[in-house]
Each structure stands twice: as C-alpha cells, then as structure tokens.
Structure 1
C-alpha cells in the first residue's frame, strides 16, 4: 500500500485500528497531538509516527504532505474533521474518518466540488458509523426504488468509548435530528417512539440524531429519514426531560466539565466484551402506496466492525484510485460492503 496515516492513533478506536493494521503487515504512519502516547505506541508496533496538532492549517498540510490517504480517528470530529479535511485537500490526500456526526457529513458533502477538482476522496463515516446502516439503506433503495420514507436502526450493547461518549454529550445539546422532505430538521430528543424487531426480538425504540440522517439521503435520495435504537421507558423519559435543559447543555463550561468526567471514567469495552456482543442492524423503507421492505443484518460488535470497516475502506481507496469527490461508504464500495466484513451474516430482505 501507498504511504498513509492514522491520525488519532492513540485514541481507543484509533489504537485498535493501528494494532490490527500491524497484524496485517500494513505500515501506516501513526499520528496525533499527544507526543508521549503516539511515540510509545509507534515504538511498540515499530511503525513510523508524526506528532502535530490541527491548530495550524499550514503545519497540518505540511505533515500530511506525502500521504496518499489519512484515516482520521481523533474525535470529537466536530473539532478535528474540518481542519484535517482542509489539510488533505491542500496536500491532495484522500480523507476517511470514523465519525457519526451529522455536521461532519454535511460539511464534507459541501466540499464535493473542491474534492473533485483536487482528485481527493472525502468519505467520512467508515466505521460502525455509518457502514452497516448505510449499506442497509442502499439495499432497501434497490429493493423499493420509489421509497419515500426510510427508517434505520441498530441494537448494540457494548458501551461507549471516550470519544463516542464526548460526541454524545455534544449531541444532547443539539437536540434530535430527522430528515423531512429532503431537509434535515431539528426535533426534540426521543422525538419518535415505537416498537422494532432489530433482529433479536421486538423492543421499545426511540429516534436518535444518527449520521444516516445525512448520509442515507446521499446514498438513496429518499427524502424522509429517521434512525432508532432500543430504549427503556426510563431512557425515553430522561431524554425528553433533557429537552428542557438544552440551554444548559450548550454552555461551554458544562460541556467541558462533562467531557473531563468522561476522560476520567470511560474506557471503552475490552476485547472479551467486544467479542461476545454482536450488533443487530435493521431498516424499513416505505413508498407512497404503503408498500414496505424490511432489511436486517447481524454484524460484529460496533468497535470491531469499525476496525475492519476502516481498514477495508482504506485498502479499497488506495487500491482502486476512485475519482475525487464526496462519497458515503456504500456509494464508494458497494451496498454489500457490510456483508463482506468479518463477523457479518447475510443481509436479509423481506
């Protein structure tokens, strides 16, 4: 493979990806802003490393120069994606990340023309966010081409990494999100509640502001999109109460306090937990006449899928040299991508 970089390699998921890359005899450059952690990991894995922050755009572009691709694993991506995408555009390096943040997808999509001109692939969301649901969305579009409503969801019980937990704190302050008539609109948290069989029995579920509200529209053109996860009645009640506290959650001091608490208390699931907790992914498409198609697939744990998915996408981009521009995972590598990943069963349509 050409020279490529994992930025944020010292984070929970970034380190998992770096270790798996080494196991596969790949040689990415490990990078991040924490010198001690990056140099220690690079030394252990005998991989090259670079230490830099994204505060200086010129310095970031200089550090990315010579790379064919950057896989950004440094969250929250609301802070890191824009400067790293800019560095990649300047250095003409392809950009991937493992975000699930709607704002990141929208920003990357807005840069489609620049990316085309530069010959740079912009494909955020190449981890669990959003490979499985994006592939389910594309499969449903193929099965029901005139669909006007798309509902997606997943049942995962493995817990949060520190980066995912910090992103969730930011999300609470921004409220719920759905796509309605082609536009992303803000709605209350736990806006919709219904019962869903994700693949492991019917459960109460609530809507969440997941990345597919952005990406599934670009993959399918379906104008109305919602995303769901299982929830207890207590979770629904708590989130609905949180709607009245968004003014507080938006305060920088409160956000900083909650993120410091996360850094001290959240570690991410260990290997044993990841191995014993698979994920069930579900989707439902409906057309104007009420015809419905449902899709389900069982995958590896979300973090394990992020490792396999990110590396699969990095290898795909470097070996296939696609044209520049904005992509979703299914648009870039096909709707069968998720079924090709380790731990995935077949994608079943009904």
Structure 2
C-alpha cells in the first residue's frame, strides 16, 4: 500500500445510497477526501460534484473491472447493500490485492463469508472487517465486555431498542431476512428457526419491554469475538408484531420467490427514504446483553448510544481513520477484535457500558 495517514487512498462504494451519502458527507466535514464510487454514473457523479470529490463508476459483475478500479485503493468501504449481492466479489479482490475491506452489513451470511477469506487476507496483509456500523459495533462490543466479565459463559443474549426507522438498503435486507427465517446459534452451530422463535421481557435500558428473537449479525460475529457457543438476539416487539412475525412463517416459501423479492424491493426503492436528520437526533438506541454460565451465574451490560444511522456514520469513519494511521496484521476481524471492546464507549461520548 502506498502513502501514510490521510495520504492513503480510500474509497466509499455505494455512495449515493442513504447511508453511503451520510458517511461521505461526514468524511468531508472531517477533512478526508475519499474516492466516491458506485454503479450508477449519474447518481455517483452528482454526489461527488456536490462534495468536490473524485469519483469512479463501475459495477461488480466483472471481476477484472472491479480489480482495475480498486487496484490503487488502500481501504475500501462498501456501503452498497444488500451485501449478499456485493460483498463476495469485493472481499475476494481486496484480499488478493492486500486492500483493507470494510462494510456496514448486518447480514449473518456475509459475516460468515468473511471468515472464509481470512487465510488469503493474512497472506496479503488485508484486513477484512464487515459490520463497521450500527450493525454490529455496539452489540459486538457488549458481547466482548460480557465475555471478559464472565469468562466461562455458555449462553449469550444480545439486543437493542432503536426506533429510527429503515433506510432503503436496510429494508431490502430485511425482506431477504424474512425469507431465510430466524437464526440462533446452538452448540456453536448457526441454526434456522421460525421467526419470533423466542419471546421474553427485557429491560434494554429504558424500561422492561416484550421482545422477540431476530436473525441479527451477532449470531455470527459474537461467536467469533467471544467463542460463546449459544447466542440469540432480541428487539422490542408488541404482541401484534410477534403474531405478525409468526404468521409470516407460514408464507416464507413464497417470500423466497424471486418475483416476490423483486416486487418488494422495487416498492421499497419508491417508498422508503430513510430517517430524517431530526429523527436521527430524536431517537437514541439502547443496547443490552446478558451472559450466563453453566452454574446460572449472570453478567448484564447496557449502554445508550446515538441513533443507529449516526453511529454507523461515525463508526465507519473511525475504523477507516484507524486503518489509515495504523498497521494491522491481515485477516478477518470483528469490530471489537479490530478496535477493542471499549470502541463503542469511545463513539458514545459520555456514555459507558454499565455492568451488573
């Protein structure tokens, strides 16, 4: 890799998406000059011109074209979701070139895919670290803190309470997730279970609420961060939401049909715009975790963070900044492995993880 510090070249791919544009704008405010990139020339150029930045346009269908466009890039931040369709080719080429790969996914399959590139990345010095946003920085850090507090934990439950709404990319990923069903980890293995597989009451940090399990990225990442064999993730849910999720189990085969997926994603593209700046300021996020050992001893952790999209914006840039300034051994990392278990506290200002 050429250059040092901020003289290194880094790229944001998917810059005209809701979150990609937020990150690009924040990067400029901080004095960075990333290369902006995306598939659509008009949309990419519009964002680049507005921010006064260099840009490139290329799709991910031709590996040779991708390789040519990132050959001189030190760090690639992929913001183009769903990541099930964009991550593999970029991870592969980055790990070949020795280019650090980051993304903001929350998709379990993408986190597992990243592990398969670890050996190649170690050989070339590339850091592969998906999930450098709200998915999954706060929950991954809580998981690492709980492992430290209860080293012999055999069960880990995580969760968050966030009311900011969805961006188009997140909504499209959720549609794919519904079709795949629920996910938990049992005895070290990721298992498919019905949606809303488990329901219980949890105090995420702002009062006790009914909550249900969801197929969140920590089913993968928390295992690699902690080694804990049994993991599930919860979000607050009304009784109506639980009933709706369980009814969705009956039509999951239909949700897998490509025409249904395409129609749903087309509707999302037209109707979902992402939360406003005011909504992002208004709604913080509460993150919770609980570890349990074989004797029934428990450790609980909670932290209040910024809104998920704001946290993604600042979290991704902080990881980029770290890699610009520091040398790292190549390989696949989770956010807490790369940045430390207290990374979320550094992002959350005066807020700290509270253990009990």
Bin for the TM-score computed over the shorter chain: over 0.9
Corresponding position of 1:266:
272
Distance in 2, matches of 1:196 and 1:170, equals 27
Aligned length in residues: 350
Q: CA deviation at 1:87?
A: 2.2
Q: How does 1:66-81 map to 2 (within 5 A)?
A: 66-81=72-87
1:147 aligns with 2:153: yes
**How far apart are 1:88 and its partner, in Å?**
1.2
Name the counterpart of 1:321: 327
Alpha-carbon offset, residue 318 of structure 1: 1.9
Matched, 1:170 2:179: no
1:111 and 2:104 correspond: no
Unmatched segments (≥5 aa) in structure 1: none
Partner of 1:309 in structure 2?
315
Structure 1 residue 110, shift from structure 2 partner: 1.3
Determine if contact 1:151/1:284 at 8 Å carries over to the other structure. Answer: yes
Q: Distance in 2 between matches of 1:87 and 1:213?
A: 26
**Could you tell me whether the CA contact under 8 Å between 1:300 and 1:344 is conserved in 2?**
no
1:35 aligns with 2:41: yes
2:228 to 212, 219, 222: 222
Does residue 291 of structure 2 align to residue 285 of structure 1? yes
Question: How many angstroms apart in 2 are the aligned matches of 1:16 and 1:110?
Answer: 30
Aligned in 2, Cα 1:101/1:81: closer, same or farther, shift over 3 Å? same
Q: Given the two structures, how large is their TM-score scaled by the length of structure 2?
A: 0.97
Match of 2:263 among 254, 257, 268: 257
| Matched residue, 1:93 | 99
**2-structure distance, mates of 1:59, 1:45:** 25
* 3-state secondary structure, aligned to 2:56: strand
Displacement after TM superposition at 1:343 (Å): 5.1
Q: Which residue number corresponds to residue 235 of structure 1?
A: 241
How big is the shift at 1:134?
0.1
Task: Answer whether contact 2:102 2:129 (CA < 8 A) is retained.
Answer: yes
Aligned to 2:3: none
SS in 1 for 2:231: strand
Question: What is the distance in 2 between the residues matched to 1:260 and 1:252?
Answer: 12
Structure 1 segments, 4+ long, off by >3 Å, are: none
2:204 aligns with 198
User: Over residues 143-171 of structure 1, what are the superposed CA-to-partner deviations in whole Å (9 max), with x where a residue is unaligned?
Assistant: 00000000000000000000000000000
Q: CA deviation at 1:245?
A: 0.4
- Which residue of the partner structure matches residue 65 of structure 2? 59
Deviation at 1:342, TM superposition (A): 4.3
| Deviation, structure 1 residue 266 | 0.2
Instruction: Give the match's secondary structure for 1:142.
Output: helix
Post-superposition Cα deviations, 1:172-218, rounded to whole Å, max 9, x if no partner, equal 00000000000000000000000000000000000000000000000
In angstroms, what is the RMSD of aligned CA positions?
0.7
Residue 142 of structure 2 contacts residue 301 of structure 2 at CA under 8 Å; is this kept in 1?
A: yes
3-state SS in 2 of match to 1:216: helix
SS in 2 for 1:21: helix
Shift of 1:91: 2.6
SS in 2 for 1:77: coil
Distance in 1, Cα, partners of 2:218 & 2:87? 17
Alpha-carbon distance between aligned partners in 2 of 1:342 and 1:218, rounded to the nearest angstrom: 24
2:95 and 2:128 in contact (8 A); partners too: no
Unaligned residue ranges in structure 2 (runs of 5+): 1-5
* Cα separation, 2, equivalents of 1:252 and 1:160: 22
**Aligned with 2:113: secondary structure?**
helix
| Structure 2 partner of 1:337 | 343
C-alpha distance after superposition, 1:265-294 (max 9, x if no partner): 000001010001000000000000000000
1:14 corresponds, among 11, 17, 20, to 20
Residue 129 (1) aligns with residue 159 (2): no
2:20 and 2:29 mapped to 1: Cα distance?
A: 14
